[in-house]
Amino acid sequence: MLFSSTRFRNFSAALAAALLLGALAFLYARTESVDFGGHNEALVLLRQVKDLDAAWDRDAIRLRTEAPAALTDRGPIAARTLKDLNLAATRIDSPALGIALATIGASMREKEAALEDLKARASKPRTKLTAEETDGAFARLATGARIEQAAQALSREIESALAQRERYRVYLFAYAGVLLILLAWLAARILAAQRALRAANENLERRVLERTRELSDALVQLKESETQLVQSEKMSSLGQMVAGVVHEVNTPLAYVKNSVVAVRSNLPELGDALASCGRLLSLLDEPKTDPAALEQQFGDTAQRLKALRERGVLADLQALSADGLHGIEQISELVNNLKNFSRLDRSKVASFSVNDGLMSTLSMTRHLLRGIEVERHFADLPSITCSPSQVNQVFMNIVQNAIQAMDKPAGRIILTTREEAGSVAIDIEDNGKGIAEDVLPRIFDPFFTTKDVGQGTGLGLSIAYKIVSEHGGRISARSEPGKGTVFTIVLPVQPPVKLGS
């Protein structure tokens, strides 16, 4: 609608300008429409015709005294002059001259015929023309009067044309004045519009600067919010695993506790045996030792040491200390994994082993993997340069989704790694319920989730997609409902330069 209105206004303005210019051209043409050169030429030709008419009158008088052969033949000149006069009359489009020329032409031809008749009579021997004969031959031919009337009519036409031209000149000057006033008004409007446009441009530039500043501030806040959102998602994932991690910590703690309790129960016997050995050594160091006391103490010490050997106290202590160390190592591994997954230093770029990252993810989700078979097909991969915390979060989000997709007793997750040209590829496959075909294109959209309310934020896969993209990689999924889903992650060995900037 706006486009049609603009086109109509443009067409109206063009039509108005064309009409104004057309009127100006018409007035100017009317001031230049009179062919004064043609009129002057017609007047000159009329004077020539009048001169010829007078010459024929003189020739008639000369016939009284001179022979016809002495006279000039003016017929061709008259015919040519009349022809030129007719052409001039046609060119200047003079109605009065056109009517007069028909009479003048006929009169001139009659006068020429009468003159020829006089010449013929004068050529006869012993014939002398009288004044009455020569004057009477032209008496009825008012050629000169007709020529004078035509000249006067042509002069009146010229005067009328001059008056009309002057009138149209007045119209032209008045119209030009109106156009000048209109142009001045339009110029004033254009200047006012330019000033308004300049002010609008300045205002627009100021608003653009303000909006740019607001957008820059909003971008900074958005990046901060994004970082907080990603970290919040990570903390949410970690919060869901707290109970399982606590259980995982309790198991090795039980190893350590039982080992310490068993060691503590054996400590009194070991202390008694050591005390007996100390007393035996003291008796041996005395210069005069009672043989009976020495024998009794020796027997007591031997009996205690034999009891320790028979009960395998030392072997038990070694096994208990090994169990305790194993439990402590498991606790240390869990704490280290928790530290890696919960670290806030997301921008730190370092060398990273993809296989180790997957193993760490499996360790963190060990309590969720009970009853699920995990197959690992790890290739010998080069280390990649990346943000380990971010890549671990990608693995965690996808493995958790795979675990939550299990809807059958014999659950299975297959982790496969392989090397591609300048990249490493990771396949995380599950045999869960799969993803519907109409849902699959939307799984990486922020806040999109197919889980029940309270069981998901819809950010896990979106954050994984963003992290992989920032690393210069790609992530995709293929799924068949009822059979499972495969997520494929491809990460370059060397990330984009901006990742470490």
pLDDT digits (tens, 9 = 90+) for 256-279: 666 676 666 666 766 766 777 777
- Residues 24-64: tens digit of each pLDDT: 777 777 666 555 666 777 777 778 777 777 777 777 777 77
User: Do 369 and 472 fall into the same domain?
Assistant: yes
User: Do 256 and 321 fall into the same domain?
Assistant: yes
pLDDT over 70 at 222, yes or no:
no
pLDDT value, residue 268: 72
In this structure, how many other beta carbons lie within 10 angstroms of the beta carbon of residue 159? 10
In this structure, how many other beta carbons lie within 10 angstroms of the beta carbon of residue 182? 11
pLDDT value, residue 182: 86
User: Do 290 and 380 fall into the same domain?
Assistant: no
Is residue 149 a part of any domain in this protein?
yes
**How far is it, in rounded angstroms, from Cα 428 to Cα 243?**
25
Distances (CA, A) of 321 to 256, 261, 305, 313: 8, 11, 21, 12
- Asked if residue 391 lies in contact with residue 475, where contact means CB atoms within 8 angstroms, the answer is no
Confidence of residue 226 (pLDDT cuts 50, 70, 90): low
* H-state helical runs in 343-478: 354-364, 388-404, 460-470
Going by C-alpha positions, the residue among 375, 437, 423 that lies closest to residue 402 is: 375
Is residue 264 a part of any domain in this protein?
yes
pLDDT value, residue 160: 75
Most confident of 120-124, 409-413, 488-492: 488-492
Q: What is the CA radius of gyration of the chain?
A: 64
Residue at a domain's end among 298, 316, 337: 337
Residues listed for the chain: 501
User: Do 351 and 482 fall into the same domain?
Assistant: yes
pLDDT over 90 at 424, yes or no:
yes
The percentage of residues in the chain with a pLDDT greater than 70, rounded to a whole number, is 69
pLDDT over 70 at 402, yes or no:
yes
Residue at a domain's end among 291, 311, 337: 337
- In this prediction, residues 126-151 reach a mean pLDDT of 66
Q: Which H helix or E strand runs over 412?
A: strand 411-420
For 258-326, give the DSSP string: HHHHHHHHHHHHHHHHHHHHHHHHHHHHSSS--HHHHHHHHHHHHHHHHHHHHHTHHHHHHHHHHHHHH
pLDDT value, residue 179: 84
Confidence of residue 338 (pLDDT cuts 50, 70, 90): low
Which domain range does residue 188 map to? 17-193
User: Do 475 and 360 fall into the same domain?
Assistant: yes
Indicate the number of domains in the chain. Answer: 3
| 83-97, 243-257, 472-486, range with the lowest pLDDT | 243-257
- In this prediction, residues 216-240 reach a mean pLDDT of 64
Which residues touch 367 (CB under 8 Å, ≥6 apart)?
Answer: 241, 243, 244, 245, 247, 248
pLDDT value, residue 141: 65
User: Do 332 and 389 fall into the same domain?
Assistant: no
User: Do 309 and 382 fall into the same domain?
Assistant: no
User: Do 328 and 363 fall into the same domain?
Assistant: no
The percentage of residues in the chain with a pLDDT greater than 90, rounded to a whole number, is 9
Query: CA 307, 312, 314, 317 torsion: positive or negative?
Result: negative
pLDDT value, residue 453: 44
Distances (CA, A) of 361 to 108, 233, 336, 340: 130, 16, 12, 10
- In this prediction, residues 443-471 reach a mean pLDDT of 72
User: Do 63 and 133 fall into the same domain?
Assistant: yes
pLDDT value, residue 417: 94
User: Do 271 and 313 fall into the same domain?
Assistant: yes
For the chain, what is the mean pLDDT? 76
pLDDT over 70 at 387, yes or no:
yes
Is residue 207 a part of any domain in this protein?
no
In this structure, how many other beta carbons lie within 10 angstroms of the beta carbon of residue 92? 22
Is residue 198 a part of any domain in this protein?
no
- Residues 403-415: tens digit of each pLDDT: 888 877 788 999 9
**How far is it, in rounded angstroms, from Cα 434 to Cα 374?**
18
Confidence of residue 430 (pLDDT cuts 50, 70, 90): very high
User: Do 318 and 430 fall into the same domain?
Assistant: no
Is residue 230 a part of any domain in this protein?
no
- In this prediction, residues 218-238 reach a mean pLDDT of 63
What would the two tokens of residue 408 be? Answer: 């059958």
- In this prediction, residues 140-146 reach a mean pLDDT of 68
Is residue 212 a part of any domain in this protein?
no
pLDDT over 90 at 166, yes or no:
no
- Asked if residue 105 lies in contact with residue 82, where contact means CB atoms within 8 angstroms, the answer is yes
Scanning the structure block, which residue is given the tokens 């950010």?
A: 459
User: Do 27 and 175 fall into the same domain?
Assistant: yes
User: Residue 491 forms beta bridges with which residues?
Assistant: 424
Is residue 238 a part of any domain in this protein?
no
Q: Output the domain CATH number for residue 364.
A: 3.30.565.10
Q: Is 84 helix (H, G, I), strand (E, B) or coil?
A: helix
**How far is it, in rounded angstroms, from Cα 78 to Cα 317?**
159
What would the two tokens of residue 23 be? Answer: 């009127």
- Which contacts of 202-207 are long-range, i.e. CB under 8 A and separated by 24 or more positions? none
pLDDT value, residue 355: 92
| 284-298, 423-437, 466-480, range with the lowest pLDDT | 284-298
Q: Is 492 helix (H, G, I), strand (E, B) or coil?
A: strand
- In this prediction, residues 274-290 reach a mean pLDDT of 73
Confidence of residue 454 (pLDDT cuts 50, 70, 90): very low
**How far is it, in rounded angstroms, from Cα 501 to Cα 499?**
6
Going by C-alpha positions, the residue among 331, 386, 338, 327 that lies closest to residue 361 is: 338
pLDDT over 80 at 112, yes or no:
no
What would the two tokens of residue 219 be? Answer: 């971008």
Is residue 28 a part of any domain in this protein?
yes
Residue at a domain's end among 193, 212, 238: 193
